[in-house]
Amino acid sequence: MPVTFTVNGTSRTVDVPADMPLLWVLRDVLDMKGTKFGCGIAQCGACTVHLNGAPTRSCQIPAAAISGAKVTTIEGLSPDGNHPLQKAWKELDVPQCGYCQAGQLMSAAALLATTPKPTDAQIDAAMNGNLCRCATYTRIRDGIHKAAGNSRSTSSVGGN
Amino acid sequence: MSLASPIDRRSFLRVSSIAGGGLLLGAWLDFGTNGVLEAQAADIGTHTAGDFSPNAFIRIAPNGAVTIMAKNPEVGQGIKTMLPMLIAEELDVDFSTITIEQAMSDPAKYGTQVAGGSTATPTNWEPLRKAGAAGRQLLIAAAAQTWNVPAAECTTASGVVLHAKSNRQMTYGALTTTAAALPAPDMATVTLKDPKDFRIIGKPMSGVDNQKVVTGQPLFGIDVTVPGMLYATYEKCGVFGGKALSANLDDIKALPGVKNAFILEGGTVLNGLLSGVAILADTWWAAKSARAKLKVTWDEGATAQQSSASFKAKATELFTQAPVRSLRADGDVTAAFASAAKTIEATYEYPFLAHATLEPQNCTASFKDNAIEIWAPTQNPQSGRVLVSKTLGIAEKDIAIHITRSGGGFGRRLNNDYMVEAAMISKVAGVPVKMLWTREDDIKHDFYRPAGFHKLKGAVDASGKVSAWQNHFVTFSNNGTDFVPSADLSPTEFPATSVPNFSVGVSTMPLGVPTGYLRAPGSNALAFVMQSFIDELAHAAKKDPVQFKLDMLAGLPTTAQRGVMVGSRMIGVLEQVAQKSGWGTRKLPKGTGMGVAFHFSHRGYFAEVVEATVTKAGKLTVNKVWAVGDVGSQIINPFGAINQVQGSVLDGISEALAQEITIEGGKTKQNNFNDFPLIRLTQSPVVDVSFRITDNSPTGMGEPALPPVVPALCNAIFAATGKRIRSLPLSKHDLSWT
């Protein structure tokens, strides 16, 4: 079925099966590889995008449900890769393998959009659905605080 | 550039011009004459000199652009950043301006290209610095010749050669033509920097792919696209090694988007091509949707009789008998038990574990005219090449393998089963194929960390020292002699050599379930057993666990021996972690406890303390972990090193908390992250990392920080609750207390 929706500000029309998840529309039809496949059952968060502004597991959204929607993916998080979160991720060397980080960044960006100065508890609530197999959680938390401009020690990144 | 003779491995650098006038330095680095590797390096087996010849790591263009090749697969361990740092340091270029390029699989050119065993640091530490230093030496020689001054009067600074006396300078780019015409330096004359002059090594460097990672650019195997490719899914028998006899292929081929479907016969080797049904479609979603309608008749084979329950029953039965064979026997354990002040016995066990890399297994392959091009997230491309060559019947030279970034490795991608599947599917279908597993495929078709069972007996004498140790280890073997992968126990495993009366024996049972190497293989299970039982002995002796362990380490060798730790190095990290964590100095509320453990693996020394709280109702929280490591004289990239320690520690906690693979009817019961859970942000404690710098050659960081945290956590739970954890995962235990 033909479906028209907006991806990163551009209107796109695709002709796909109605049940094809948005994840695969993005990856295999629109050739946008930034959004990742991890589990297919909304357990890992690797496929997180913004659907009309809300962080959403794209593996669970059928194409039939996205007509007219506004979708933002990691490729559209910033024009130049300089969203405060992206900068913080690079400065703190958050990624290890990096596979989950698009989903982490999209969840974190949605958090900061509504809660510019999140507490640890708010970070917990927003980020607990995003798995990181390398367990970069310490730096993910630090990265969100840094991007938010929170005055918080990054003592976990240091050592001696 | 090609090497005419593979035995040409003299220690020199050859310089040759390449198209475009660049300078290409190919390094022939003889491992045998470097003399930099400690005796521990023998752990990885005999390293033949041919493994490192020839190497080609540096390309400098006339415009000054410097390209450094990253030879090893990047799986999240930071090697694509770290190894080029070694070259850039000695070449003396600005790390932020160079281009780092992932090498293809080409062992003749780059030497061993494996992400495994935490080996990249010890095996590349000197050779890659020498590769950089030789390049710098040639550029200096070229400038000296140009200016007609002694080379010794020239220095370098970030891609420029300087002659201070005459106030002249030339960029590396301006020197490429002259340098390319110079004779190769004798590697023996190539000198390395004094570590105090390091400007790149030792500085925290953010990962070289981070810009691409945070902007979602294609990097991983799953992101590869090849013109004309079809997407494939591959269904294997749930019972390991089962054969596909027939399937409703005509029905499947008629489904929307499906282009082809066929059975692959496969073989019987578990890490080779196994039988299954391939479905090819114009999108992966179409292939996966068709698979939901697939009906296969399987011949499940004998493994269908195996289960976790049957293994446990068999182990229990074997424990009533003497071990089938001895692995080590020192002193006289019988006499020591008879004269002991106190004797304790305990049985420990641990489950199978999956790797669960977040990027599911996948591979893209394009077979044409008896040759194949492969794009694979693999930790060991060369073993994949051998497997594809044998299975498809094509020459190794006709197999080109692009090493993509891997979305996690953890040892899973040392096996290339998914690579040979994609290769064979492409060959049979006659089109380029991108084959992708589902998460369920990944959980159900792993090479699992093997389960294991240990029946232990230990004794302390009147002075409170361990006087006897006896272990009956029940593990897996299909011929009674050779252990299945990662199911062995080294006769040198601690506390061997520390306890005067020491006996370890083994009995085995057959296994049809594939096993393999999970981050810190062997150690990830054995540390739990040994360090927990030592904690039991410490409490039996009424001694402080840290002091008790220091006493055990005091008798160990003071010089490196194959596979045996140097006691003083472990004592150093154990004392430091006790001090950092405030061991024994803080009064903790009831329900909160601290546990300590240490472990030597992959040449690294780690001691860790866990503080954990268990509520009366039994809810466990890991409050904080302190980790102290000794990996030698230099932390090359502090960002990467601390990342690896923090990740390893949390990985170990993740395994301990709730991970278990259960075999039922020869199949894996678990499916996805809902029943094979990974640690989450809210479960992750702060991990305080420090390093004890010692005068030893640097060693690897990917694994050795993992093993101690599992027993340290279990020992903390004992301290908090009085409950001794002798089996994993923790989720199966009632931790409540009154």
- Encode B38-107 in three state secondary structure: CHHHHHHCCCCHHHHCCEEEEEECCCCCEEEEECCCCCCCCHHHHHHHHHHHHHCCCCCCCEEEECCCCH
**For the whole model, what pTM was predicted?**
0.93
Give me the interface pTM, i.e. the ipTM: 0.97
Residue B406 near chain A (CB below 8 Å): yes
- ω into B204 cis (within 30 of 0): no
Look-up of token digits 């020839």: B54
The whole-angstrom separation of Cα B455 and Cα B473 is: 6
- Interchain proximity B439–A75, CB inside 8 Å: no
SS3 content of chain A, % helix, strand, coil (to 5): 35, 15, 50
**Which of B684, B82, B701, B727 has its CA nearest to residue A133?**
B684
d(CA B518, CA B521): 5
DSSP states along B139-202: HHHHHHHHHTS-GGGEEE-SSEEEETTTTEEEETGGGHHHHHTSPPPBGGG-----GGG-SSTT
Q: Which residues partner with B66 through β-bridges?
A: B60
CB-CB: which of B76, B639, B687 is closest to A138? B687
pLDDT along chain B (738 residues), means of 10: 29 30 37 28 27 55 90 97 97 95 92 92 93 92 96 96 97 89 82 96 98 98 98 98 98 98 96 98 98 98 97 98 97 97 98 98 98 98 98 98 98 98 98 98 98 98 96 96 96 94 98 98 98 98 98 88 87 98 96 98 97 98 98 97 98 98 98 98 98 96 97 98 98 97
What is the torsional sign of CA B227, B231, B237, B238? positive
User: Do residues B172 and B64 lie in contact, with contact meaning Cβ atoms separated by under 8 Å?
Assistant: yes
| Angle at B273 (CA atoms; ends B664, B374), nearest 5 degrees | 130
Q: What does each of the 160 residues of chain A score in pLDDT, given as a tens digit? A: 999 999 999 999 999 999 999 999 999 999 999 999 999 999 999 999 999 999 999 999 999 999 999 999 999 999 989 999 999 999 999 999 999 999 999 999 999 999 999 999 999 999 999 999 999 999 999 999 999 999 764 444 443 3
Q: For chain B, what's the residue count?
A: 738
Buried b (16+ CB within 10 A) or exposed e, A113-151: eeeeebeeeebeebbebbbbbbbbbbbbbbbbbbbbeee
Q: Give contacts of B 663-682 with A, CB under 8 A.
A: 672-674, 678-682
Strands B663-664 and B620-630: unpaired
Give, rounded to a whole angstrom, the gap between the first and last alpha carbons of chain A.
59
| Chain A touched by B78 (CB under 8 Å) | yes
**Nearest chain A Cα distance for residue B576, angstroms:** 12
CA separation (Å) from B674 to A36, B666, B679?
18, 21, 12
Contacts of residue B207 in chain A, CB cutoff 8 Å?
93, 95, 98
Distance (Å, whole) CA B310 – CA B307: 5
Relative to beta strand B466-476, strand A2-7 is unpaired
Angstrom distance (rounded) from CA B428 to CA B357:
28
Closest Cβ opposite residue B672 in set A41, A93, A134: A41
* pLDDT for position B289: 98
DSSP string, B446-468: --BBPPEEEEEEEEE-TTS-EEE
Nearest to B220, CA basis, from A95, A18, A118, A88: A95
Do B241 and B268 meet the contact criterion of CB atoms below 8 Å apart? yes
How much is the mean pLDDT over chain B?
A: 91
- My answer on whether omega of the bond before B495 falls inside 30° of 0, hence cis, is yes
pLDDT given for residue A152 in this prediction: 66
Nearest Cα to B444, choosing from B240, B247, B222, B242? B240
Contact criterion met (CB < 8 Å) for B439 and A31: no
What crossing angle do the helices spanning A101-114 and A84-91 adopt, rounded to 10°?
A: 130
The DSSP element (H or E) to which B421 belongs, if any, is helix B417-429
Which of A43, A135, A141 is the closest to B651 by Cβ?
A135
Residues in chain A: 160
